[in-house]
Amino acid sequence: MKFKEEWQLLGWYERFEKIVCVILSLVVALVILCALYKLGFHLFHLLVTHGVDPLDHKSFKTIFGMIMILLIALEFKHSIVKVIEKDQSIVQVKTVLLIAILAISRKMIILDTKAMSPMTIFSLAAVLLALGMVYWLMRERDDRLSDITDESD
């Protein structure tokens, strides 16, 4: 179906959701572009003017943390675009869980273990484990549901 035909089939709330998602997508794209510019500028500044070794542990964590932020933002934008392009009316919970897992993983990667209390590190690990288990359970459920639908066809 063409866009105009699809648009006419949507109710007023579905249209509202699509418009909000388009605006959010543009805002997130702008944020990603700004972050990418800042990452490039920061990398150039670190490597060329300061002569920082990218393999230095602290520099590596800083650079890798910035790259992870961009990946998280891209995944977030992708989840919004899926709502716009497909017949989904809301952002999928699995996608939100995946973004949360990425964000906490980023935190764990750039974590300064000497500055953090063991309880904080344990808490982050527990949250990461819990999110991973919920994501796995949701995937298992979706796989079972798709197997049932495949068998009925």
Q: What is the pLDDT along the chain (153 residues), one digit of tens a residue?
A: 566 777 777 788 878 888 888 899 999 999 999 999 998 888 888 777 777 776 777 777 888 888 888 988 888 888 888 777 776 656 578 888 888 998 998 888 888 888 889 999 999 999 999 999 999 998 888 788 777 777 665
What is the number of structural domains in the chain? 1
DSSP the chain: --HHHHHHHS-HHHHHHHHHHHHHHHHHHHHHHHHHHHHHHHHHIIIIIS---TTSHHHHHHHHHHHHHHHHHHHHHHHHHHHHHSS-SS--HHHHHHHHHHHHHHHHHH--TTTS-HHHHHHHHHHHHHHHHHHHHHHHHHHHHHHHHHHH-
**What pLDDT is attached to residue 6?**
74
- Domain range for 103 is 3-152
**What pLDDT is attached to residue 89?**
57
pTM of the model: 0.69
